């Protein structure tokens, strides 16, 4: 046992419940994050093009962006908390080691939120200068993603924590990890790809009101998804090869579940490329959502393999306390109904606007 790893906390119910909820909520956060990246990137691109149809597309996307920030942040809370429940002794330490950057996430997020609101609410008065605001917001979002990638990768490798004794200022980054940059690019490029697909999906709501914008959104969105998914496959292979050998091998036949998930995800990646090139938007979106879920499962299997020499979640001590879990599921059901209602109201208002 590594002496730098704190003693884990007890949990109120069996660990499997938290693992299930983590895998249930993380893909939802990833989809929202992907949409935020894709809508921001496509809106910036359209605003810089300058023609009237592109300007109208940039405006349509700008109106959705504030909602996407809210959904991304709120859907991110649950998986982060479930992660802390199961692997808090790793995540808390990594957060402390890079505390200066971890705390910087809050002002970066506030800055991005304000820039996006200005870009939306002052779209017409800002003119082409609005591209500066959405560009700065996009840079802030990418910086937040880099900080999260550093934290999550540092939490996987307690052997790197000894760097604290050379730098106790809370400014450690996991730059020496060979998986850091392929991991970051894998998530970010994949985020832009799925976000582009989401733009094409939203184009269906604009067909009757503005057919030109709908056609442009569909074309740019599907091209973004298809070409970036091609890059994403290569980045995924780079990420896989950068993993420590014993962890890479679990996806190469050593672990049946991990290998099966990897093979299905690879086949699904090829399938979405075919449907993307054919511009089958709805089918591609459905397959892409399944692919995001499989990526979340693969991420979790890799984390389990990383932690195996030090810790297994099933070893956590359980002190039964079921009422919080019951309250959580009741709140989740009620919240889901409210979210569905809010989404329907937003879509209805976008159609009428």
- Given CA atoms 58, 60, 62, 68 in this order, what sign does their dihedral have? negative
Answer yes or no: are the C-beta atoms of 312 and 89 closer than 8 Å. no
Q: Which helix (H) or strand (E) holds 75?
A: helix 52-97
Residue 313 pLDDT > 80: yes
Q: Any idea what DSSP says for residue 169?
A: S
- Give me the DSSP letters along 286-332: HHHHHHHHHHHHHHHHHHHHHHTTT--GGGS-B----HHHHHHHHHH
Share of the chain above pLDDT 70, in %: 98
Beta-bridge partner residues of 318: 11
Give the largest CA-CA distance in the chain.
63
- As a whole number of angstroms, the distance between CA 172 and CA 160 comes to 10
pTM more than 0.75: yes
Residue 347 pLDDT > 80: no
b/e code 215-230 from CB counts within 10 Å (16+ = b): ebbbebbbebbbebbe
Beta-bridge partner residues of 11: 318
Within 10 A of 70 (CB to CB), how many other CB atoms are there? Answer: 14
Residue ranges covered by each domain of the chain = 15-321, 322-353
Which region among 38-47, 248-257, 266-275, 343-352 has the lowest average model confidence (pLDDT)? Answer: 343-352
What is 15-321's CATH number? Answer: 1.20.1630.10
- As a whole number of angstroms, the distance between CA 338 and CA 221 comes to 29
- The angle, 0 to 180 degrees and rounded to 10, between the axes of the packed helices 130-156 and 52-97 is 30
Residue matched to tokens 């985020």: 191
Residue matched to tokens 């990890």: 177
76-113 pLDDT per residue, tens: 998 999 999 999 899 999 999 999 999 999 999 999 99
Better-predicted residue by pLDDT, 350 or 327: 327
In whole angstroms, what separates CA 332 from the centre of its chain? 21
- As a whole number of angstroms, the distance between CA 21 and CA 230 comes to 31
Query: Which of 139, 142, 125 lies closest to 59, judged by CA?
Result: 125
Mean pLDDT value across the chain:
91
């Amino acid at each position: 046992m590594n002496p730098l790893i704190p003693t884990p906390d007890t949990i109120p119910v069996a660990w499997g419940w938290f693992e299930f909820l983590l895998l249930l909520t993380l893909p939802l956060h990833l989809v929202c994050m992907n949409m935020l990246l894709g809508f921001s990137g496509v809106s910036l691109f359209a605003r810089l093009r300058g023609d009237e149809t592109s300007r109208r597309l940039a405006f349509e996307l700008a109106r959705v962006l504030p909602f996407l920030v809210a959904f991304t942040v709120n859907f991110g809370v649950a998986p982060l908390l479930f992660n802390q429940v199961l692997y808090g002794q790793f995540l808390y330490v990594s957060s402390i080691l890079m505390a200066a950057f971890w705390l910087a996430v809050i002002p970066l997020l506030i800055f991005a939120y304000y820039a996006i609101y200005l870009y939306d609410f002052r779209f017409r008065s800002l003119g082409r200068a609005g591209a500066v605001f959405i560009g700065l917001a996009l840079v802030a979002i990418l910086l937040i993603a880099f900080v999260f990638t550093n934290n999550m990768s540092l939490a996987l490798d307690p052997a790197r924590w000894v760097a604290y004794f050379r730098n106790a200022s809370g400014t450690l980054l996991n730059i020496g990890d060979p998986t850091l940059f392929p991991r970051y690019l894998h998530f970010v490029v994949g985020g832009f790809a799925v976000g582009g697909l989401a733009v094409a999906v939203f184009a269906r709501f604009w067909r009757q009101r503005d057919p030109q914008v709908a056609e442009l959104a569909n074309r740019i969105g599907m091209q973004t998804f298809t070409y970036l998914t091609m890059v994403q496959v290569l980045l995924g292979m780079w990420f896989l090869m950068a993993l420590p050998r014993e962890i890479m091998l679990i996806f190469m036949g050593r672990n049946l579940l991990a290998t099966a998930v990897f093979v299905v995800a690879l086949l699904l990646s090829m399938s979405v490329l075919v449907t993307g090139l054919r511009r089958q938007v709805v089918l591609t979106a459905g397959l892409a959502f399944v692919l995001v879920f499989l990526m979340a499962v693969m991420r979790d299997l890799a984390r389990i393999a990383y932690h195996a020499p030090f810790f297994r979640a099933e070893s956590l001590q359980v002190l039964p306390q079921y009422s919080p879990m019951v309250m959580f599921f009741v709140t989740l059901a009620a919240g889901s109904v409210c979210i569905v209602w809010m989404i329907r109201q937003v879509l209805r208002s976008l159609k009428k606007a």
